[in-house]
Amino acid sequence: MKVSSQDIFLLTKEANRLEMVPDEKAAFTKFKEILKIQPTNIYALNKCSELCSRIGKRQLDKKVTNDYYEAAKTYAGISLKLDPNNAEGNCVMAIALGRSSLNKGGKEKIFTAKEVKKYVDIAIKSDPKNYKAWHVLGRWNYELSSLNIIERSAAKLLYGSIPLGTIRDAIFAFEKSNSITDGFILNYFELARAYKKNDENTKAINTINKMLLLPNHTEDDAAIKEDGKRLLKDLQ
């Protein structure tokens, strides 16, 4: 049976609706349906990657989590083979790499940090208004600013040097993300954490209070707000 562009449009519309419900596993299934019909659909590939990173983070079984993260990298990799400079493809690859390295340490974490920076820089260069890419850059700077002396020394020995992020750089990137979109709950939370680390507690409190008033958009948002409430107690 021949599938028309109208069929793809309707499937995409339904997948987007499911993501907004939010029902991310159902949305993921629907985007996979699109890829069965049209394997080179970059939008669906990028969405599958992003959803795998999000769904994977919530899994209790470490192996299942890793499987989702590997799938996220695979979808992003296919997308980038089709269009190496695609902003969203580079962004979701950076997200997948960043998520997969959170529980790793030593050489692998430092190597992955270099890879994340490479992809996020391309994403921002291709689309300076990609708010998710600015958020990833903020996380990158936050994590790199937290390296201890041993980890910094290891980075220098392994790679000569890597640009080590600062907390001010993290704050700039998170603020940039917020200036592009006003409803990204995770970004508000990470910005508040960065303010706290930089001893800007009043800004951290104000940021969390704003975040708590925002409507939830993803399946993670309710849990992020609970984390925000705990952070607020520490600040007050």
Tens of pLDDT, residue by residue over 64-100, are: 999 999 999 999 999 999 999 999 999 999 999 998 8
Report pLDDT for 213.
96
- Calculate the average pLDDT of the chain: 91
Burial call 59-77: b when 16+ CB within 10 Å, e when fewer: eeeeeebeebbebbbebbe
Q: What topology is assigned to 1-103 in CATH?
A: 1.25.40
d(CA 170, CA 44): 30
Spatial contact of 203 and 232, defined as CB atoms under 8 Å apart: no
For the ranges 16-25, 108-117, 200-209, the lowest mean pLDDT is seen at 108-117
Spatial contact of 135 and 172, defined as CB atoms under 8 Å apart: no
- Domain ranges in the chain are 1-103
pTM: 0.92
Tens of pLDDT, residue by residue over 186-231, are: 999 999 999 999 999 999 999 999 999 999 999 999 999 999 999 9
Summarize the confidence of residues 120-139 as an average pLDDT. Answer: 97
Q: Place 139 in a pLDDT band, splitting at 50, 70 and 90.
A: very high
d(CA 103, CA 112): 12
